[in-house]
Structure 1
Amino acid sequence: MESVDHKKRLCLVGARGAFLREALSLGVEILAVQTPEEYRGLPADLAAEVTSLVLDYQDTDRLVELVSALHAVRPLDAVVTVFEEALLPVARLVDALGLPGVPHATVTLLTDKWAMRRHLREAGVSSVLAELGTGRADLAAFGGMAGYPFIAKPVAGSASLGIFKVESADDIDRVHEGLTAVGLGTFLMEEFLEGPEISVDGLSFHGRYVPVAICDKILGPDFVEFGHCLPARLSPETEQEVVELVAEFLDCVGLAEGLSHVEVKLTPAGPRIVEGHNRRGGDRLNTMAESVYGFSLERTALELALGVMPERHARPEAKGASSVCFFAAERGVVKEVTGAEEVRAHAQVLELHINFPAGQEVPPLRWSLDRAGYVVVHADTADAAEALARDLAGRIAFAVEPKDFDTSAERDDLRALVGEIDQSNRLGYARPAADAAQERHPA
């Protein structure tokens, strides 16, 4: 690998943990842009090695003002992140500073799922029936047009939060109440795509796409992801269809450089795009890809941004397979967790993490961060990896003491959580529902 010249300077937005350590290993100077919470969680040894700029980086005007001033004194070579919540701020900086990266217009198109659906429909790429909704009447109208079931979800959400499946016309009241309860006055409605879901992580070099990690996805209740398996078990014909669709999708939205993570449904009518992102996939996919391909997606994001990664021309060869299995726990206060030492000692385990150790409360399962933990394994085949991950996850047992929960407070917490994760207010959707309806259906 080409070495990094003379202390290049990197602005890392959302700098934390292993990703920050990976950046430091490249021998670069780092301007770490962090929220106060991220800064407080930074280990002392890392804090001593970086220059920190602590602010709410969702205030992008302030972010651009401060980073531009620092850039004028000590020029930056790149701005990068791998975290969903920092993609739009990074894109603003890329445009403002004139640095290499994905432009704000493309990141906005990927973040705003309604804009993405309209753009794809106009281009004739993986068209999926979709409409914006603001109330019960819109749900009923969309069901009458698209049929049942269909999906209602945040316009710019993530982490499987706030997604509702409308099973029939009789289900509209329930879903509308659910959307209202979590504060989604404006939401996206999409036709339900039948079939298994996969994810595709890859790289783009000046518009030329190279797939890397194609993963099977295992869904749990309410669309929360409970596992992934790499490589996906696809026929060569289906895999080729998927790769061609993903490349067409990325061309359509204007993503010509860097990492991408694209979710695809394998429907009876062929593969269809669910959504895409200009980052690596989550849910331990970086660990899995490194296990199977010897290829760190996070390090790749840094090397691509700094211009020190040689261009790849082919997908790396898989060496074995990897799977992650998430597990849940009953609600209540955790008294004891058993089985972890046995599982961690297994020769094929790459990672084991318990989210709720003894003394912590297990919340209701609403989104990805409510899962109780995960185990990641390596095996010779995808089938063997998935079976082993499931088996080992099943050996982790939580002894939980039930308690009474304040359901009113939980509803408020969920509403606040959806508001925090959904980025639609940063994309111009923070309007009264009546105004949105008038704009879509003028008199």
Structure 2
Amino acid sequence: MPRILIVGGGLHFQRLLLDLSPDIGTTVLCRAGTLGSVQGIERHHAVVVLSDRASADDWSAAATAVDRLWPVDRIASFSEVDQDRAAAIADRLGLPFNSPSTVRAVNDKRETRARLRAAGVESLPHRPVDSVADLREFFDEAGPPLILKPSRARGSIGISLVRHASDIDRAFQRSVTASGPRIPPSPLLAERFVEGVGLCVDALTHQGEHHVLAVSETVVDPETQVDLAHVTPARLPEAAVRAVTAHVRAALDALGVESGLTNTDVILSPEGPVILETHLRASGNRIPELIRLATGTDIVRLWLRQIAGEDVAAVPELRRARPIPVHSRAAAVRFLTTGESGTLLGIDGWEEATTLDGVHHAARLAQDGAGLEGLQNDSSYLGEMVFVADTASQALERAEAAVGSLRVRVHPAEGPHGRRGPSPAERSSSGGQ
């Protein structure tokens, strides 16, 4: 029976791992702040909870104690929050996992950029930014537009687009203070903004070989750079897919990724692909579901089988993805958003939209009465709809049409000096604004 120490929370991934086989045993080591994301506590051999203020030495000591009482075969970690702890524990116990230096390089965008440049993979103009003066100097040097981002954030938190010199102060203040649940503010990185097609590349690395399982296309809001939609497969010619997959493999090599699932955000510019960031985990925003619908491959289950110790090198899903992913149909997800702030009064047309041709899944993510702060990050979504079709263009068009048919009604927040803005009818908006 494989004995797996899960470091950190993991929402449904823990349950899915246990569902693979009754022979799998798990113990969870987590901080108090993530205890709520430990599912099925009664199914784990033990759940060890540390203070949110526990040191790295405390984590290693706790893991060593677990291993002494319940010898561990494997290490798993399902989100970025405690991957550094997991890597250190695996290194101490001599168990397979990505190295501490790889985890640090992937989860810190400043170090990602340095690694890619040192390896000769990319030379995108970028600079660590610690002050408004730093940002202004880089703006003058590199020229607009620039992207400013917290180096250790995720979920589009704190991303700012700098198009003009007048944007610099606002962008710096927005990005330097950006935070979220278990995402504190972090040092900033400024990069030259790259125009092109947004992509998400999902790969499973096994025994050092990077198997690209899907290349999905991403549609973003032009001002906030928050994701609005994804479609699998990306609407690209085969030559472009080959170029992107080769570039991502080179980046994963440069970062030292040795095993596990990764998702890498890429811009395919006229000059070629450019890495935005990568993650040592499954994609969010329902992308694994799109991949399953389009290719038949359950990438999360494949990853969990690897975590459980299976040699997945010869499974049909990996063989089928060589040299590039193969799709039998297409799937798209479109998120309902609004730029308005205030109180959500309702979403007109929702029930009708959920019955349209090709709809696979639809869910409201914000209920009437919820407070809205415009489109800030992927926590701002009001709803999501997944469509399937024969082609990527058709799937995306169906999703766009469905969300575009919706009408979001918002009671506006109070304006300056306590005055109210226009009436809700005046401030209603169509989906995807």
TM class, shorter-chain normalised? 0.7 to 0.9
In structure 2, what is the Cα distance between the partners aligned to 1:308 and 1:355? 36
Equivalent residue number for residue 146 of structure 1: 142
Equivalent residue number for residue 200 of structure 1: 201
In structure 2, what is the Cα distance between the partners aligned to 1:11 and 1:317? 34
Superimposed CA distance per residue, residues 349-397 of structure 1 (whole angstroms, 9 cap, x where no aligned partner): 3322212112322233211111112111221110111011112223444
1:19 aligns to 2:19 (yes or no): no
Partners of 1:227 and 1:326 within 8 A in 2: yes
- The one-letter amino acid paired with 2:209 is R
SS in 1 for 2:20: coil
Equivalent residue number for residue 55 of structure 1: 50
Equivalent residue number for residue 106 of structure 2: 110
Deviates more, 1:180-189 or 1:20-29: 180-189
In structure 2, what is the Cα distance between the partners aligned to 1:135 and 1:38? 32
1:226 aligns to 2:228 (yes or no): yes
Equivalent residue number for residue 319 of structure 2: 313
SS in 2 for 1:108: helix
Q: 1:77 to 1:396 in 2, by over 3 A?
A: farther
SS in 2 for 1:223: coil
User: 1:42 Cα deviation (Å)?
Assistant: 5.6
Q: 1:126 to 1:24 in 2, by over 3 A?
A: same
Equivalent residue number for residue 343 of structure 2: 333
SS in 2 for 1:25: helix
Superimposed CA distance per residue, residues 165-193 of structure 1 (whole angstroms, 9 cap, x where no aligned partner): 22233433333343455486831111111
Percent identity over paired residues? 28
In structure 1, what is the Cα distance between the partners aligned to 2:50 and 2:391? 45
Q: Which runs of 5+ in 2 are unaligned?
A: 180-184, 418-433
SS in 2 for 1:313: helix
Q: CA RMSD in A?
A: 2.5
Equivalent residue number for residue 402 of structure 1: 412
SS in 1 for 2:257: coil
SS in 2 for 1:301: helix
- The one-letter amino acid paired with 2:102 is T
In structure 2, what is the Cα distance between the partners aligned to 1:101 and 1:406? 53
1:93 aligns to 2:95 (yes or no): no
SS in 2 for 1:222: coil
User: 1:405 Cα deviation (Å)?
Assistant: 7.8
Q: 1:338 to 1:280 in 2, by over 3 A?
A: same
In structure 2, what is the Cα distance between the partners aligned to 1:152 and 1:270? 22
Q: Which runs of 5+ in 1 are unaligned?
A: 1-5, 408-443
Q: Within 5 A, what are the aligned runs for 1:135-284? A: 135-179=131-175, 182=178, 186-220=187-221, 221-284=223-286
Q: 1:336 to 1:119 in 2, by over 3 A?
A: closer
Aligned length: 399
SS in 2 for 1:20: helix
Partners of 1:337 and 1:357 within 8 A in 2: no
Aligned pair partner of 2:381 in 371, 376, 383: 371
Q: 1:172 to 1:323 in 2, by over 3 A?
A: same
SS in 2 for 1:93: helix
Q: TM-score, normalised by structure 1?
A: 0.83
Regions of 4+ moved over 6 Å: none
Superimposed CA distance per residue, residues 10-61 of structure 1 (whole angstroms, 9 cap, x where no aligned partner): 2233444432221121121222344445434666xx2322232233568443
Partners of 1:57 and 1:63 within 8 A in 2: no
Q: 1:279 to 1:172 in 2, by over 3 A?
A: same
In structure 2, what is the Cα distance between the partners aligned to 1:398 and 1:56? 42
Partners of 1:264 and 1:271 within 8 A in 2: yes
1:387 aligns to 2:397 (yes or no): yes
Q: 1:347 to 1:9 in 2, by over 3 A?
A: farther
Specify which structure has the bigger relative contact order, considering alpha-carbon pairs within 8 angstroms and separated by 6 or more residues.
1
In structure 1, what is the Cα distance between the partners aligned to 2:165 and 2:86? 42
1:10 aligns to 2:4 (yes or no): yes
Deviates more, 1:202-211 or 1:56-65: 56-65
Partners of 2:9 and 2:37 within 8 A in 1: no
Deviates more, 1:249-258 or 1:174-183: 174-183
User: 1:109 Cα deviation (Å)?
Assistant: 0.6
Superimposed CA distance per residue, residues 110-167 of structure 1 (whole angstroms, 9 cap, x where no aligned partner): 1111122122212211221111121122112212221221122112221111112222
Q: 1:211 to 1:369 in 2, by over 3 A?
A: same
Q: 1:216 to 1:180 in 2, by over 3 A?
A: closer
In structure 2, what is the Cα distance between the partners aligned to 1:262 and 1:357? 32
Q: 1:176 to 1:208 in 2, by over 3 A?
A: closer
In structure 2, what is the Cα distance between the partners aligned to 1:57 and 1:180? 23
Equivalent residue number for residue 423 of structure 2: none
Q: 1:166 to 1:347 in 2, by over 3 A?
A: closer
- The one-letter amino acid paired with 1:301 is W
In structure 1, what is the Cα distance between the partners aligned to 2:106 and 2:131? 24
Aligned pair partner of 1:124 in 100, 104, 120: 120
SS in 1 for 2:219: strand
Partners of 1:326 and 1:372 within 8 A in 2: yes
Partners of 1:328 and 1:371 within 8 A in 2: yes
Partners of 2:29 and 2:49 within 8 A in 1: yes
- The one-letter amino acid paired with 2:172 is H
User: 1:288 Cα deviation (Å)?
Assistant: 0.9
Q: 1:56 to 1:367 in 2, by over 3 A?
A: farther
